[in-house]
Structure 1
Amino acid sequence: MAFEVSYNLENEQQFWDELDDIVSTRCQEHERIDNALRSYLNVTTNYKSEYLQTDYSVAECVFRLIQGELFNAHKEYVRRQIIYCLLQEDDNPTLHMVAAFLLFDGRNSGNDATFEMMNEEGVFPRLVELVQSPSVQEDTRLHQMLLELMYESSRIQRLRWEDFMAINDAFVLYLLEIIEGVSDDADDPYHYPVIRVLLVLNEQYLVASTTQQHDGRASITNRVIKALSTHGMTYKTFGCNLILLLNRESETSLQLLILKALYLIFGNTQTAEYFYTNDLHVLVDVILRNLIDLPSDSPAANALRHTYLRVLYPILTNSQISKPPHYKREDIVRLLHLLVTSGNHFAPVDETTKRLVNRCTAVEWLQPLATDANDASETNGHGSATQSPIEHAIGNGQKELARRMLGMSVDGGGESATSVLEVASHTAPAGVQTPSRGRELVQ
């Protein structure tokens, strides 16, 4: 999109006034719409270093276009022209503005029209190319914006064969290197968008492995798991951050993405011991706590509970805790028993939860304790046995006490194809918060 108009604006107010005039343009002919878009990109990129120095100011600039007459009268055409610009331009300021528009419009549209159009036009390989571009890497804000756009546009629809072919081992290792090399701080501005891209790529591979959408083509290698299986010792920070995010993440869709990655990591013999033992212990604590937190009468909570239990099984069978000394053995058995105990603590238990709990309790090193827990339950039913501390804490709504009692400080691992498919199929809209027993008690 070549620039044809020059501007000489003397202050910031003139900049915003000029921008308002452009986005309010009323026209019907495609040529005039194109000219208005050129003017928009010209004024924003020419004065970006002066008046658009923050993410907030860039967002304000984009939303003025989204709310203006020019866009609202010609949404589909404007979106497609902006997408063409992303596909063709190499100028960093221009790429920043068009990427910001696509990201904010996609999040704001409510119907995924922008991201669907990006998919139709084959934008994903271009994003892979840009994210690795040396000139883009020098512009931290642009680089992060493109990573966020890659995540959002890949989250809502399946990648095509051509998209998977754009991802090679070097690209995945490059993303892992960013996480490893920036800092050990999970709050670093780079960590979150890079991790989310890796998580959504892993989900895309998982979904692709359960479908026959590629017309007989060769199976697609999950390059995220492959990278961890061959270079896992080099890229440990990614795993540490997965645990940190799972511990604090309240958005259901992000929890599911993390759990799907953990499911494949622990289900693969080459990556089952990827985590440091101490970090693995923290992960088990987080899973047990989150299983306690989930309410019993919510469909969303049930889906999440089932996914946690499917992840817990390969941890119990394949990770370091399957070897003595077995970490939190008693607490794991008590919690599993509690999940299938109806009555005052839980509503009637669904059959899937029962089946998944039974799979976990059947793990060999839990067997003696599992039997003891069942015997204790039968005695307790007649009023003569002592209630476990965890049961007591949950029964009285003392979530924090329950957490303290729990010590908070693709080989498949025996899984069937059906179970893999069930894990892959669990999704949630962005922004939906995970149900919490704690929030219920507060209310």
Structure 2
Amino acid sequence: MPIYHYEHLGEDFVSFLIDQLEEEVDANSELAKEELEIPDLFLTLLLAYSLQFKEQSPQTVSSAEETVENPVLKVLKKRTCAKSLTEKTLLLINREGLDSNVIGNQRTWDPVGAFSSARHSTSVQTHSVLKLVGDLFGDTHTAALFYTNDTKVLIDILVRQLSDLSPGDQRRGQWLWLCRRVIRNCCYGEHLHRRDDLSRCFTRIFCEDTSSSSSDQHLVRDIINEFPMFFKV
């Protein structure tokens, strides 16, 4: 995004979107239906905005990740609560395969993906929801915006995805990228939720005998090396 856009699309703009997203809607209002749609539209805008900062993309994951802040993260670091934002992103991240949006030959649960052009349909796109959640779990301050029970739900989703996705599916690498960040910054040692299930997923991936699994095996090795107190393969 051109630097001169920040004058109008900087932290004040992001704060406005988040404030509107967090504002409670009166369900008894005559305009309740329209008002209920507004937070979802603002969330989609935030997701698309966050995609402009490619440094935090799952596709750019490496063993030496650097935290690159964008205005969304800067604003959220100053908050102690973002209940609506975290709940809505978890609902979206739990909807893979259930949405009706189709890009190319694949279904997508990414609200921003619905606007992807056909010329990008054959490549694996960065999921805006996965990216934002991963960015939030890239720092302990923003990871703390998720309640412990919400984090456990996210780990349940991670286990399901890592169990279901096949070797060679590039989405599995994105989920491993997110998994590493969640374990790193959610005080995982306090509850060790689904540790045995995660270990089984890591072992299965690590033991796959296909060249298409090599990148995922590298990610698994990084996770195990970083958290030997939790996992062994």
TM-score normalised by L of structure 1: 0.40
For residues 366 and 349 of structure 1, do their structure 2 counterparts lie closer, same or farther at Cα, with a shift above 3 Å needed? farther
For structure 1, the residue ranges without an aligned partner over 5 or more in a row are: 1-158, 210-219, 375-443
Could you give the per-residue CA deviations for residues 357-413 of structure 1, whole angstroms, max 9, x where no partner exists?
11112213324xx2xxx4xxxxxxxxxxxxxxxxxxxxxxxxxxxxxxxxxxxxxxx
Matches within 5 A, 1:347-358: 348-358=211-221
Where does residue 3 of structure 2 map in the other structure? 161
Residue 174 of structure 1: CA displacement? 1.5
Question: Which of 213, 229, 236 is the equivalent residue of 2:83?
Answer: 236
Question: Which of 331, 340, 356 is the equivalent residue of 2:206?
Answer: 340
In 2, Cα distance between equivalents of 1:286 and 1:183: 28
For structure 2, the residue ranges without an aligned partner over 5 or more in a row are: 28-32, 58-67, 98-107, 114-125
Could you give the per-residue CA deviations for residues 76-133 of structure 1, whole angstroms, max 9, x where no partner exists?
xxxxxxxxxxxxxxxxxxxxxxxxxxxxxxxxxxxxxxxxxxxxxxxxxxxxxxxxxx
Residue 252 of structure 1: CA displacement? 6.3
Aligned amino acid, residue 273 of structure 1: A
For residues 341 and 221 of structure 1, do their structure 2 counterparts lie closer, same or farther at Cα, with a shift above 3 Å needed? closer
In 2, Cα distance between equivalents of 1:275 and 1:172: 19
The count of corresponding residues between Structure 1 and Structure 2 is 191
Residue 176 of structure 1: CA displacement? 1.2
Where does residue 53 of structure 2 map in the other structure? 205
8 Å CA contact 1:195, 1:238 repeated in 2: yes
Residue 184 of structure 1: CA displacement? 10
In 2, Cα distance between equivalents of 1:336 and 1:207: 26
Residue 169 of structure 1: CA displacement? 2.1
Matches within 5 A, 1:70-109: none
In 2, Cα distance between equivalents of 1:290 and 1:284: 10
Residue 310 of structure 1: CA displacement? 1.0
For residues 332 and 189 of structure 1, do their structure 2 counterparts lie closer, same or farther at Cα, with a shift above 3 Å needed? same
Residue 271 of structure 1: CA displacement? 1.5
For residues 305 and 208 of structure 1, do their structure 2 counterparts lie closer, same or farther at Cα, with a shift above 3 Å needed? closer
For residues 247 and 167 of structure 1, do their structure 2 counterparts lie closer, same or farther at Cα, with a shift above 3 Å needed? same
For residues 207 and 313 of structure 1, do their structure 2 counterparts lie closer, same or farther at Cα, with a shift above 3 Å needed? closer
2:223 aligned with 1:365: no
Where does residue 41 of structure 2 map in the other structure? 193
Question: Which of 286, 304, 320 is the equivalent residue of 2:157?
Answer: 286
8 Å CA contact 1:247, 1:286 repeated in 2: yes
Where does residue 307 of structure 1 map in the other structure? 174
* RMSD across aligned positions (CA): 2.7
Residue 178 of structure 1: CA displacement? 1.8
Paired residue secondary structure (1:350): helix
For residues 275 and 208 of structure 1, do their structure 2 counterparts lie closer, same or farther at Cα, with a shift above 3 Å needed? closer
For residues 226 and 289 of structure 1, do their structure 2 counterparts lie closer, same or farther at Cα, with a shift above 3 Å needed? same
In 1, Cα distance between equivalents of 2:26 and 2:143: 23
Where does residue 172 of structure 1 map in the other structure? 14
8 Å CA contact 1:340, 1:349 repeated in 2: no
Aligned amino acid, residue 241 of structure 1: K
2:174 aligned with 1:326: no
- Structure showing greater Rg: 1
Paired residue secondary structure (1:201): helix
TM-score normalised by L of structure 2: 0.72
Aligned amino acid, residue 247 of structure 1: N
For residues 312 and 208 of structure 1, do their structure 2 counterparts lie closer, same or farther at Cα, with a shift above 3 Å needed? closer
In 1, Cα distance between equivalents of 2:69 and 2:179: 24
Residue 260 of structure 1: CA displacement? 1.2
Residue 242 of structure 1: CA displacement? 0.7
Residue 246 of structure 1: CA displacement? 0.5
More helix by share: 1
Residue 261 of structure 1: CA displacement? 1.1
Residue 349 of structure 1: CA displacement? 4.4
Where does residue 71 of structure 2 map in the other structure? 223
Aligned amino acid, residue 366 of structure 1: F
Could you give the per-residue CA deviations for residues 10-44 of structure 1, whole angstroms, max 9, x where no partner exists?
xxxxxxxxxxxxxxxxxxxxxxxxxxxxxxxxxxx
8 Å CA contact 1:199, 1:261 repeated in 2: yes
For residues 228 and 192 of structure 1, do their structure 2 counterparts lie closer, same or farther at Cα, with a shift above 3 Å needed? same
Aligned amino acid, residue 219 of structure 2: L
2:93 aligned with 1:246: yes
Of structures 1 and 2, the one scoring higher in RCO (CA 8 A, sep 6+) is 2
Matches within 5 A, 1:67-146: none
8 Å CA contact 2:50, 2:70 repeated in 1: yes
Where does residue 216 of structure 1 map in the other structure? none
8 Å CA contact 2:86, 2:146 repeated in 1: yes
For residues 283 and 167 of structure 1, do their structure 2 counterparts lie closer, same or farther at Cα, with a shift above 3 Å needed? same
